A and B are shown apart, each in its own frame.
Chain A
Amino acid sequence: MTPTALAPAVAQPGPKPRRVKLTDPAVGVWLAAAVVIVLGWLIVTLDGGSFFARANITTILSNCVALGLVAVGQSAVILTGSLDLSVAYLISLGTLVAAETMQDGSVVTGVLAVLALSVAVGLANGLIVTGLKVNAFIATLGTAFILRGWIEDNYTGPAGQVPASFRHLGYDRIGPVPVSVFLLAAVAAAVWFLTRRTRLGHHMYATGGDEHAARLSGVRTRRTVVVAHVICSLCVGAAALFLASRLGAGAPWAGTEARYDLESIAAVVLGGTALAGGRGGVAGTLGGVLILAVLDSVFNQLSVDPFFKNVVRGVVIIAAVALYARRGRKTA
């Protein structure tokens, strides 16, 4: 029998799916990022600035790092169909723990302490979501409140201090590229590998895509969700370490003042990951982060009113997601 006879209505997409497709959000995002960069360059140059000046590139890149790290983690949970609103406070606490342990301990102990903290918070989130069956939104909002209380109760203002050696992470650069970018690259690569190449990753996509189907196929969905939360928190921990090295001390508002919770979610969604889970990935998220960073830098160059920035950001985010929705409808 000829297989073609079997299914008349098969849409064989593209030449070969493995090759990059324009329908893949990640690609779209990076294209968008490219466009934004070109436009930015044009505008800035017309304005008499120099967009590709060393300093500017460095700024853009180093502005990517913190948000990038958080967003990468956030994409892990969102892929799995969950959400994490506690990241902002975890960052703040992370910087404080890092700075304080490093002050009277070694860098390594500081790093370990932060990562330990992260794992703990991640586990808590994951277990509350899966075990207590509390909606992720509320669960992580709750942990956020708890962390906040802990911070405000124990810290009044910046505390601790990181050794000079550790500060290199925040300040050194090779040519125009800040060292911290390599940290982001490493973490992103790790998470990308985890989500795309390991069984865990496949199960994360499956759980986010259709929990019931995943379970029927023998995927341990709960465990997957918990692990995703831990991964997210670890990335946040990395962000905290970076910020600590950059700030030279721990700051109770390091995470909240930058609204990393909502910003990271925005970046992830901007990166083409579906809020419902199961679609998207780290690559797109990085693109989203880059777009936001470039926008910021352009606004800086033109010294746009900071309030006006928010308006633009809001519009960009909504517009982007509306676009995805459109495309989704087409392929569906």
Chain B
Amino acid sequence: MTPLRKHRLLAPGAAVFAAVLLASCSSDAPPASPGASASQSQDDKATEQSKFFEQDEYERQIRLADVTPEGPADKPWEQMLEPEMRDTAEFKKKGGLAGTHLCFSNAGVFNPWRQVGLKNMQAEVKLHKEITKFTVLDAQGKDDKQISDIEELTGKGCDALIVSPNTTATLTPAVEAACAKVPVIVFDRGVQTDCPVTFINPIGGYGYGSVAADFLVEKVKPKGKILALRISPGVDVLENRWSAAKVAFDKSELDVVEIKFTEGDTAKTKSIVADAISRHGQIDGVWMDAGATSVAAIEAFEDAGVDVPPITGEDQQDFLKAWKDKKLTAIAPTYPTFQWRTPVIAALDILAGKQVPKEWKLPQPTVTEENLDDYLQEGMPPLHYAMCGCEDLPGFPKDWGGK
């Protein structure tokens, strides 16, 4: 096998070769190898809790849920929880903010959440006249492409780079490389390095997961059968949601009879729920790690001719509508899309030399029986996320598909 022979020499060969040339030629590789945390999380695998579970972070998020945020109450995307501010003078843009070139490496727009979010960000940019150029590269969900995108953007003379990583572990090196050249703002999903100027995200998956789980623990009678529906394994945000829920369920007397992956496919969700109902006679509560398919789940119960048990969803309009129309016992923790506005604001603050939090924790409101009507917006498309904080943005509601 010639390729084999060729290759056996090549992989290390290239490395050595490169190492030699390292002095002479440029390397985009990050100096230190990160992933210390990665290997550490590997060790946690031993414990029966998923490797994505980190006790202290869990406790932190639970605590944050009750903290009152700093900042304007009517602008949750500018609020921050327990911020430790950091100085950003080093990044202050010479000659003022005028003519700022902002760049954004997006993991993709492969789901409605990200589509709403991107619209938020674009609209936010419109608010700031000083941003004269806003470059967005879409990685279409490909880690490899996003790495190149980031490399490309760092060479485009951006004043600041916003990154929404497709994957935590795999994007880390690229982000580290970028940090060396431009101020980097990471949001939504994190990276395993603290080189970005700030990392913007809401309270997080643990908070989300436990809110939903606690709701069921409260509403469903002991020994009740719980069906846990997850999108797909391996997505850190979602894994966190589940692992937190797991903690809650383990403490409770509820009986989680099934944990299934729906791949976000509504048809598959309906099948799974239908089968679950027939297998277990009844289902007393449904926990979901994301709202995308909760309506399908609700329908499955209807089609099976049984009452819809307490169910958790997300702040998508179709779910909120079903909730109201069908008078469900439900709750919708959110992973607010308004967080897409914050990075732009942060970027401008940084370039202005204003202080920003090292980790910018945003509040993570929950839609409940009480405030349901505030978030159920007539005329918005079914897959629109209520927690977009976009009502005051230019082009609303048309650009978001509403009327």
Contacts and interface: CB of A to CB of B under 8 A. Distances in A.
A248 B35 contact: yes
B141 interface: yes
Contacts of B156: 55
Nearest to B106: A306
Nearest to A103: B39
Contact of A249 (B12, B27, B169, B177): B169
A172 B21 contact: yes
Given A158-B168, A172-B29, A258-B145, A166 B11 contact: yes
Contacts of B111: none
Chain A interface residue count: which class? Answer: 35 or more
A166 B15 contact: yes
B135 A303 contact: yes
Interface in B107-163: 108-109, 135-138, 140-145, 147-149, 151-152, 154-156
A62 B155 contact: no
B67 interface: no
A268 B155 CA distance: 31
A171 B10 CA distance: 15
A119 B35 CA distance: 30
Contacts of B170: 158, 247-249, 251
Contacts of B18: 168-169, 172, 179
Nearest to B25: A174
A93 B341 CA distance: 37
Most chain A beta-carbon neighbours within 10 Å: one of B7, B21, B28, B137: B7
Most chain B beta-carbon neighbours within 10 Å: one of A56, A169, A252: A169
B3 A156 contact: no
Given A157-B239, A168-B29, A231 B3 contact: yes
A107 interface: yes
B155 A243 contact: no
B334 interface: no
Interface stretch (B229-237, B305-313, B319-327): B229-237
Interface in A279-309: 296, 300, 303, 306
B47 interface: no
Contacts of A190: 2-3, 6
A167 B29 contact: yes
Contact of A252 (B7, B42, B155, B234): B234
A122 to B, nearest CB: 10
Given A56-B152, A66-B144, A190-B3, A171 B234 contact: no
Given A155-B234, A165-B19, A231-B3, A55 B151 contact: yes
A243 B170 CA distance: 10
A248 B172 contact: yes
B33 A171 contact: no
Contact of A300 (B19, B144, B152): B152
Given A164-B33, A300-B152, A249 B8 contact: no
18 contacts: A63-B145, A103-B42, A107-B11, A156-B234, A158-B169, A163-B33, A165-B15, A168-B15, A168-B19, A172-B14, A179-B14, A179-B17, A186-B6, A248-B169, A248-B170, A249-B35, A249-B38, A251-B143
Given A156-B50, A248-B169, 12 more contacts: A111-B11, A119-B1, A167-B33, A174-B25, A180-B14, A187-B6, A230-B1, A234-B4, A245-B11, A246-B147, A257-B140, A306-B140
Interface of A: 53-56, 58-59, 62-63, 66, 103, 107-108, 111-112, 115, 119, 152, 155-159, 161, 163-175, 179-180, 182-183, 186-187, 189-191, 193-194, 230-231, 234-235, 237-238, 241, 243, 245-249, 251-254, 257-258, 296, 300, 303, 306
